[in-house]
Amino acid sequence: MGMPTLAYRVDSAVPPPGYSTFIVEESSIATTVSFSSFTTTSAAAVDSTNSNSTHWSPAHSSTLYRIDNWGAPYFAVNDSGNITVRPHGSSTLSHQEIDLLKVVKKASDPKSVGGLGLQMPLIVRFPDMLKNRLESLQSAFVSAIQTQGYESRYQGVYPVKCNQDRFVVEDIVKFGTPFRFGLEAGSKPELLLAMSCLCKGNPEALLICNGFKDAEYISLALLARKFHFNTVIVLEQEEEVKLVIDISKKLSVRPVIGLRAKLRTKHSGHFGSTSGEKGKFGLTTNHILRVVKDLHDSDMLDCLQLLHFHIGSQIPSTTLLQDGVSEAAQIYSELTRLGADMKVIDIGGGLGIDYDGSKSGNSDLSVSYSLEEYASAVVNAIRVVCDRKSVKHPIICSESGRAIVSHHSVLIFEAMSTTDTAPSMNQINLPFIELPEDARSDYWNMSDAVMRHDNETCLFYADQLKQRCVEQFKEGSLGIEQLAAVDGLFDLVTKIIVGTEPVRTYLVNLSIFTSIPDFWSIGQIFPIVPIHRLDQKPEVKAILSDLTCDSDGKIDKFIGGEANLPLHKPGNGQYYLGMFLGGAYQEALGGVHNLFGSPSVVTVLQSDGPHSFAITHAMSGPSCADVLRVMQHEPKLMFENLKHRAEEFCGIDAGSCLASTVARSFHNMPYLEPRSSCSLTAMNNGGFYYCNKEDYYAGSETGANEDEHWSYCFA
């Protein structure tokens, strides 16, 4: 018996032989239907959020992407279906909300139509949000202190390692001045920038010096003390105390010293790897006692005034937090008993961010407490221990970096293209084919399983048929038309039985290694959402693939444990996605994989103007020349080599002009330019190429100095 024909036309309402029994009905294969029914069934299956809804609203998108869970009180969806930013948190008035799409349009539109002409990807910063986060943190501790009758104050610092951007650090110092808010540094360059920024800060603001230290680091910290900064040198290793004692005497500076204690309390999650007795940082009890003795013998025990510890980032629950703080408070009390002039307990970082909105205490992506509950737990744990030991309540310091800067920065990038879904069988016109005998056997076994409603067996033979045909194609005994027919059949069978839409891959104008390094390195997941079209139902399940030539350059894990992201079908215009809560660490950790540099950046303040915002600072991302210099290449010399090569093989005039086009590429960003026209225009005079004026001026607006544009030419 011959194989039935696997061909029929697009407009046919009658399925081909052997296909008529495929239909989704209570997870089984049932009676004859036309193939137009399959399309309706599978489309309906996509809407798992609201299967009975005939109208998609922004509220549906907010639920689908969990925006109210992870985004409150700073992000929401407006009636136009765009992400809206509430820069003052819950205090934001309706007229103060900022439409994120309008910000992106203003930043990316050409200058000729009133935009800033910045290329994607783009980081959008909201300093108002930094101010709100600082105020909220301060308010939470003030409230806990007043409620519990705590007899000292809270005085935080920002660890600059989270985001060392100049404008971020300067804004934090400015907004934190009323609260004596200070900075924490972990290296010599971080200490230098902290000293510079605190010149405009509160004189009482703490300058905490953490990290491993050499003589130069300690000298710099002691000089900061001479400059009347409120500097505290925190000892991470026992041998550092001798350096501090010796250098402080040479510089005639009386230092303020802190100890970092290595607690027994351990954070079990990924971010707790530096906690516990075997952690990377800190002093054990034996180390602490020896340091106390060294300071006592040098008549400097009164210089010991601060105890520091760090349980780990993203502390999941207040139970773990209280355990660690209570243990540290015991050490603090003992140091007081031993004669140290203790004044400050620095609880380190750990105040977490709810990245997925789950409010879970069992995940590295979430926390089970509010800001107020965090502050209350800290204050209570210290108060109870100090009261029991009759020790004066210390100043409470925290190094909350992630909780301060994560929300204020949004990474915007474009989806450039997408892979096509495999066409369903009614959408293609397959040729008439005959398959080899062994393949026919798989086909008939699959058909028999269909008649028996045996989905598992049907899928087994469908897979076996496909794999057999793939091997035959590799051997050369099967044509590509036959293989395509079998692929189409397999996709149709699995789509109907499993009830899932195929997942598309969206190419995004981004380097994950540069802009979201924590996803690649430690599996950290951030909320990713379209910033517009949220009044439309997303009909595609997608993963994201970046521009790098690396198989790890993809995002295939999303909040909620999802392996794909609901997205809209590409339209005629740009399709913008936003990654949220990435303001901490991502910019500091990003590298230059494939020589993709950092994104462009704009700073946005809430304004009472017509669009509720004003862009106060804009900076284009680094050019190809900039990132080449990072790897020790010299772009101008490279250009001269290429120009000489062009003139050698194309003639002086044509070669010179071709080299000018190469020069323009040096000054452009490495990322794709979706709106750019070809910069090479062919004339009828023997293939002479030139750059047009628009391309020249576009290149001139990238921010390079006039003499760095080398030799552009234009007609």
- Which residues, including other chains, have CB under 8 Å from residue 266's CB and lie 6 or more apart? 272, 275, 276, 277, 279, 311
Cis ω on the peptide bond leading into residue 670 (within 30° of 0)? Answer: no
Instruction: Note the pLDDT of residue 276.
Output: 54
Region 366-386: mean pLDDT is 96
Residue type, 538: P
CA distance 183 to 206: 6
CA distance 134 to 326: 25
Q: From the CA atom positions of the chain, what is the Rg in Å?
A: 31
Q: CA nearest 273: which of 313, 303, 238, 234?
A: 313
Average pLDDT score over the chain: 84
The larger pLDDT score, comparing residue 14 to residue 630, is at: 630
Instruction: Note the pLDDT of residue 383.
Output: 98
User: Is the pLDDT assigned to residue 637 strictly greater than 80?
Assistant: yes
Instruction: Note the pLDDT of residue 424.
Output: 45
User: Is the pLDDT assigned to residue 57 strictly greater than 70?
Assistant: yes
Instruction: Note the pLDDT of residue 513.
Output: 92
User: DSSP 3-state assignment of 185?
Assistant: strand
Per-residue pLDDT tens over the stretch 302-338: 999 999 999 988 999 999 999 999 999 999 999 999 9
Q: How confident is the model at residue 492 (pLDDT cuts 50, 70, 90)?
A: confident
Instruction: Note the pLDDT of residue 21.
Output: 32
Neighbours of 644 (CB within 10 A): 12
Question: Per mean pLDDT, which range of 110-114, 243-247, 255-259, 708-712 is the poorest?
Answer: 708-712
- For 116-214, where are the alpha helices, taking DSSP H only? 127-148, 166-176, 188-198
Domains of the chain and any CATH numbers = 127-406 (3.20.20.10), 437-498 (no CATH), 625-673 (no CATH)
Question: Per mean pLDDT, which range of 536-550, 582-596, 613-627, 651-665 is the poorest?
Answer: 651-665
User: Is the pLDDT assigned to residue 693 strictly greater than 80?
Assistant: no
The structure tokens listed for 406 are 């994560």
User: Is the pLDDT assigned to residue 694 strictly greater than 60?
Assistant: no
Question: Per mean pLDDT, which range of 91-95, 144-148, 285-289, 682-686 is the poorest?
Answer: 682-686
Distances (CA, A) of 453 to 28, 30, 335, 389, 427: 5, 7, 75, 74, 25
Percent residues over pLDDT 70 in the chain: 82
CA distance 108 to 478: 50
Region 521-535: mean pLDDT is 94
Per-residue pLDDT tens over the stretch 98-122: 999 999 999 999 999 999 999 999 9
Question: Per mean pLDDT, which range of 193-197, 201-205, 457-461, 656-660 is the poorest?
Answer: 656-660
CA distance 520 to 526: 12
Region 198-221: mean pLDDT is 95
pTM over the 0.85 mark: no
Beta bridge partners of 682: 689
Instruction: Note the pLDDT of residue 653.
Output: 82
The structure tokens listed for 301 are 């025990």
Region 523-541: mean pLDDT is 95
User: Any idea of the CA torsion for 435, 436, 441, 445, to the nearest 10 degrees?
Assistant: -20
Residue 705 phi, psi dihedral angles, 5° rounding: -65, 160
Instruction: Note the pLDDT of residue 455.
Output: 85
Region 160-187: mean pLDDT is 96
- Which residue is it, tokens 């369903």? 424
The larger pLDDT score, comparing residue 452 to residue 502, is at: 452
- Which residues, including other chains, have CB under 8 Å from residue 535's CB and lie 6 or more apart? 56, 57, 58, 61, 79, 80, 81
- Which residues, including other chains, have CB under 8 Å from residue 559's CB and lie 6 or more apart? 66, 70, 355, 356, 357, 365, 525, 526, 527
* DSSP code string of 592-620: -GGG--PPEEEEEEE-SSTTSEEEEEEEP
Residue type, 44: A
Contact 571, 140 (CB under 8 A): no
Catalytic residue (choose from 303, 458, 549, 691): 549
CA distance 294 to 300: 8
CA distance 400 to 285: 26
Region 357-384: mean pLDDT is 93
- The angle subtended at Cα 702 by Cα 700 and Cα 705, nearest 5°, is 65
User: Is the pLDDT assigned to residue 27 strictly greater than 80?
Assistant: no
User: Is the pLDDT assigned to residue 563 strictly greater than 80?
Assistant: yes
Q: How confident is the model at residue 227 (pLDDT cuts 50, 70, 90)?
A: very high
- For 360-409, where are the alpha helices, taking DSSP H only? 371-389, 402-405
CA distance 287 to 25: 70
Neighbours of 94 (CB within 10 A): 9
The structure tokens listed for 627 are 């990132």
Instruction: Note the pLDDT of residue 19.
Output: 34
Instruction: Note the pLDDT of residue 590.
Output: 85
User: Is the pLDDT assigned to residue 713 strictly greater than 90?
Assistant: no
Q: Is 549 a catalytic residue?
A: yes
